[in-house]
Homo-oligomer: A and B are copies of this chain.
Amino acid sequence: MTIKISAEAFDPYQEIQAYQNAKTGNIGAIGATSIFIGTMRDFNEGAAVKGMTLEYYPGMTEKQLKKIITEAQQQWPIIDSLVIHRVGDILPNETIVLVAVWSSHRGDAFDASRYIMEALKSKAPFWKKEHLVTENERWLAHNTNGYKPR
């Protein structure tokens, strides 16, 4: 389990490759990798968005992420996991969050990565303030439930 909070833009694929290359044990047991990448869109809730500032609670954020991943590990046989979340000033098309889960079987990898994403969105202390093209700013009020059909 590795958790990173990044104040700089990152390439999710380079991060996963570097993480995998550094792995040693258990390689041959990995049959499934489920990855989710959240990216900043340029349009949200009816408005064109030119940028975003992501605030977090240093200490609590890492603590809650660790708790979420530990809960996932208790429910599914996870071989390894990597979660990276961006903070600070973000531009459209940049990566906000990366969740990667390695497991022997695909059902476990899918279930665990989705669980981590949903829990992260409902429990990890991050807050988004959008900078609109109109020069207005707005804090997002709440996240939606990603399990429900919209």
Which residues of A come within 8 Å of B, CB atoms?
11, 13-14, 16-17, 27-43, 92-93, 104-110, 114, 117, 146-150
Contacts and interface: CB of A to CB of B under 8 A. Distances in A.
A28 to B, nearest CB: 3
Contacts of A117: 106, 110
Contacts of A35: 33-37
A36 B31 CA distance: 10
Given A33-B37, A110-B117, 17 more contacts: A13-B13, A28-B42, A29-B41, A30-B41, A32-B36, A32-B37, A32-B39, A33-B36, A34-B34, A34-B36, A36-B109, A105-B150, A106-B117, A106-B146, A107-B146, A110-B110, A110-B114
A43 to B, nearest CB: 7
